Amino acid sequence: MSDNTISKEYANNLMYDLQKSFWDERGLGAKFRTVSVGREHFKSSVLPLIQSNEIAEFIRAIEQALQAEGIVAKIDCTEEGRLLRVKVQGCIHRVVEERLGKDGIPPLTCVPANLIAYAIEEKLNRPVELAEIKVDADGCNLMLVVFDQRPVLK
């Protein structure tokens, strides 16, 4: 195996093709099957950086890891009760969402959102649902719903 890296265009074309194929097969139901996209790569890179049990700190750690990888420029977040509103700017995968949108397909997955949800689920034992992804001129606007902690069975 070589140490060569692949181009962003190649990776994004693959992501587009996979999401489009999944959409063609499952329609909107595909959205609920793509929540784990990105987790495996970042399990060792992101989770060890999270030292707090505060959601805002999770997001800072994820932002720093994704910035270091060159994946996003900025992540901002506000908490409103159970709602977590996240703004992602400068994401290298945005072109995939724009291309899907031109084909009439709504955004299906968001790696930063998936990582935020994963961190909350792993660290706080609270289920999270990515309720909305809206793409605009400034970036992607995400709405996640954070549910109460799962019961612990003994």
Per-residue pLDDT of the chain (154 residues; tens, 9 = 90+): 456 788 999 999 999 999 999 899 998 888 888 888 888 877 888 888 888 899 999 899 999 999 998 999 999 999 999 999 999 999 999 999 999 999 999 988 899 999 999 999 989 999 999 999 999 999 999 999 999 987 877 7
Q: What is the pLDDT of residue 19?
A: 92
Q: What is the pLDDT of residue 1?
A: 47
- Residue 120 domain boundaries: 8-146
Asked whether residue 21 is domain-assigned, the answer is yes
Asked whether residue 151 is domain-assigned, the answer is no
Asked whether residue 47 is domain-assigned, the answer is yes
Judge whether 78 and 58 are in contact, CB under 8 Å. Answer: no
Asked whether residue 2 is domain-assigned, the answer is no
Asked whether residue 62 is domain-assigned, the answer is yes
The total of structural domains in the chain comes to 1
Asked whether residue 1 is domain-assigned, the answer is no
What residues have CB less than 8 Å from 7, skipping those under 6 apart?
none
* Long-range Cβ contact pairs of 15-23 (< 8 A, separation 24 or more): 15/93, 15/96, 16/96, 16/99, 16/100, 19/96, 19/100, 19/105, 19/108, 19/109, 20/100, 20/103, 20/105, 22/108, 23/100, 23/105, 23/108
Asked whether residue 3 is domain-assigned, the answer is no
